[in-house]
Amino acid sequence: MKILMIAPQPFFTPRGTPFSVRGRIQAILALGHAVDLVTYHVGDDLSWPGLRIYRTPRMPWIRSVTIGPSFTKVFLDVLLFALALCRVLRERYDVVHTHEEAGLMGTVLAPLIGAQHVYDMHSSLPQQFQNFQAFNYGPIVKLFEILERFVVRRAHAVITICPDLSDRVATIDRSRPCFLIENTL
């Protein structure tokens, strides 16, 4: 299988979600599949047979990406979506595997190419917005609650990293296939 993975992260940097992304890539490659990773321009390249990394254009004023929501990530996510769209217009993929907020991108892109969409849910985005005071604004949190339900209900499968997120998926759609893969190093 050929998999398009979309990771809105500074990949690879040694922290939370990038560790998970790396682990997912290693597992997929070990099964004999190919991965095209679309990610931010920030981060270190990894070189493994079967992995191709495509990065957003380098923005000289963006040298790092902080954890959590930010206006920088919104800007980079627009570039990330454009890059992912270019990939699906040029290549045939069997699966679109998305992480975090890229779930919305996968919900749009996978049906365009007749691919399966696997949503890797590392956190609940509405909860993230509530936790970061600068973004804890009722209408924004509500919008992300709606988007989270939209993504979960349209994904062919959801991967979570903890039981609380699995429970959250079940409250959104009990029939949605959900697989718990806890983070380990």
Give residue-wise pLDDT tens across range 134-146.
Answer: 677 788 889 999 9
The CA–CA distances, whole Å, from 71 to 8, 17, 100, 133, 174 equal 13, 19, 16, 14, 33
H/E run at residue 2: strand 2-7
Q: Do the Cβ atoms of 140 and 164 come closer than 8 Å?
A: no
Residue 58 pLDDT > 80, yes or no?
Answer: yes
pLDDT in tens, 59-108: 989 998 988 888 899 999 999 999 999 999 999 999 999 999 999 999 99
Count Cβ neighbours within 10 Å for each residue of 21-41 and write b for 16 or more, e otherwise: bbebbeebbeeeebbbbbbbb
Q: What is the mean pLDDT of residues 153-163?
A: 97
H/E run at residue 13: none
Q: Do the Cβ atoms of 183 and 160 come closer than 8 Å?
A: no
The CA–CA distances, whole Å, from 31 to 25, 125, 126 equal 10, 30, 34
The CATH architecture that domain 2-180 belongs to is 3-Layer(aba) Sandwich (3.40)
What's the whole-model pTM score? 0.94
Query: Amino acid identity of 51?
Result: L
The predicted pLDDT at position 183 comes to 76
Which segments within 40-138 are labelled E, that is strand? 51-55, 95-99, 116-121
